[in-house]
């Protein structure tokens, strides 16, 4: 693909090629004197192409632009003219802190905690079509954001585990999560039930969960155990292009804290257990297909959340990566 006006294609370490796509496709400024106003104007002029490339390639990386602050990242996102999906409206279980109206910390989990591959909020009825990342401070060691093309993974998984993939498409997945009564910053899934559900009282929490189709059980310590309705495990992004759109790997590997046991976190939508061998293959494939984005300060990564999964490596030192969500979508419940 030729570079867009005023910018050039970049080669990144470990960048991948799948058919006629690059993962991620990357751009940098042609003119080193390009300022923030020029950058915002360039993003606005090319917004349609950038978003289309997010879907086609899975991710677009912007490196070397004068995006020196969280506020400049906010301006870039606004230039894309996508509908903001405020984090407080999400059902995500991660603790996050808002920096601007549109931008929040990617995760407040401690640096030694690894966050495994997932599609953002695929374990809830509401999810963002796009997720955008920005590096404010790169870690001294580690801290890369692994990305994985979920369509490529699913194609390979179908070849190796066809029965498992058929069951995923037929039954979907059901997730169980125990939410604390107050934020637990030591956990990657420590957001309180009040903030997760956007409520203050137990009655309001129960009403929200019933509306969403969840079942639930209050715990003696004030925590709330919630079980989702059957949600899709596979998404057809375009005719014939399917992605492994779920939180299976993250839930199976990483939903572990004082309240949650990964072995109880996820099942097929009909209540039957997952095939552990097939899950191991999915995890193996995600590791093989991972592109690790080694952050540089000022980097921006635009992700189509339906196409690419993301994760987080553990790190040493200070690391500040922030995120923004856009274009809230609603999943259809699985009834088969």
Cα 58 to Cα 62, 128, 153, distances in angstroms: 14, 14, 12
The domain segmentation of the chain, as residue ranges, is 7-151+286-327
How many Cβ atoms are within 10 Å of 81's Cβ, its own excluded?
12
Q: Using an 8 Å Cβ cutoff, are 119 and 128 in contact?
A: no
Q: Using an 8 Å Cβ cutoff, are 88 and 95 in contact?
A: no
pLDDT of residue 238: 94
In the structure encoding, which two tokens stand for residue 186, read together? Answer: 């030591």
Determine if the pTM surpasses 0.85: yes
Element holding 327 (H helix, E strand) = strand 320-330
Report the alpha-carbon distance of residue 9 to residue 212 in Å, rounded. 44
Instruction: State the alpha helices, DSSP H only, in 127-191.
Output: 150-160, 162-171
Q: Using an 8 Å Cβ cutoff, are 285 and 140 in contact?
A: no
Percent of all residues in the chain with a pLDDT value above 70, rounded to a whole number: 99
Return the SS3 of 276.
helix
Residue 185 scores a pLDDT above 90: no
pLDDT bin (cut points 50, 70, 90) of residue 3 is low
pLDDT averaged over the chain? 94
Residue 171 scores a pLDDT above 70: yes
pLDDT bin (cut points 50, 70, 90) of residue 2 is very low
Q: What is the fold of 7-151+286-327?
A: Double-stranded beta-helix (3.60.130)
pLDDT bin (cut points 50, 70, 90) of residue 204 is very high
């Amino acid at each position: 693909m030729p570079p867009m006006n005023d910018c050039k294609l970049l080669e990144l370490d470990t960048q991948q090629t799948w058919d006629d796509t690059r993962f991620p496709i990357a751009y940098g400024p042609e003119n080193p004197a390009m300022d923030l106003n020029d950058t915002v104007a360039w993003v606005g002029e090319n917004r349609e192409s950038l978003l289309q490339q997010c879907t086609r390639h899975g991710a677009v990386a912007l490196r070397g632009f004068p995006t020196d602050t969280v506020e400049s990242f906010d301006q870039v996102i606004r230039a894309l003219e996508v509908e903001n999906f405020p984090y407080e409206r999400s059902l995500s279980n991660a603790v996050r802190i808002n920096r601007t109206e549109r931008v929040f910390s990617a995760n407040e989990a401690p640096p030694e905690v690894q966050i495994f591959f997932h599609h953002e909020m695929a374990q809830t009825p509401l999810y963002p079509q796009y997720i955008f990342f920005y590096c404010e401070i790169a870690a001294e060691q580690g801290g890369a954001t692994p990305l994985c093309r979920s369509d490529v993974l699913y194609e390979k998984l179908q070849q190796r585990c066809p029965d498992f993939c058929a069951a995923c498409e037929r039954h979907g997945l059901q997730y169980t999560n125990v939410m604390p009564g107050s934020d637990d910053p030591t956990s990657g899934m420590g957001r309180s039930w009040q903030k997760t559900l956007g409520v203050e009282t137990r009655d309001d929490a129960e009403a929200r969960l019933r509306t969403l189709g969840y079942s639930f059980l209050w715990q003696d310590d004030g925590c709330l155990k919630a079980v989702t309705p059957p949600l899709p495990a596979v998404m057809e992004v375009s005719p014939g292009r399917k992605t492994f759109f779920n939180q299976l790997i993250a839930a199976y590997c990483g939903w572990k804290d004082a309240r949650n046991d990964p072995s109880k976190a996820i099942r097929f939508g009909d209540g039957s257990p997952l095939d552990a061998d097939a899950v191991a293959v999915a995890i193996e494939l995600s590791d093989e297909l991972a592109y690790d984005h080694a952050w540089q300060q000022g980097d921006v990564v635009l992700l189509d959340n339906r196409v690419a999964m993301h994760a987080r490596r553990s790190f040493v030192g200070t690391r500040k990566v922030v995120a923004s969500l856009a274009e809230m979508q609603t999943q259809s419940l699985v009834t088969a």
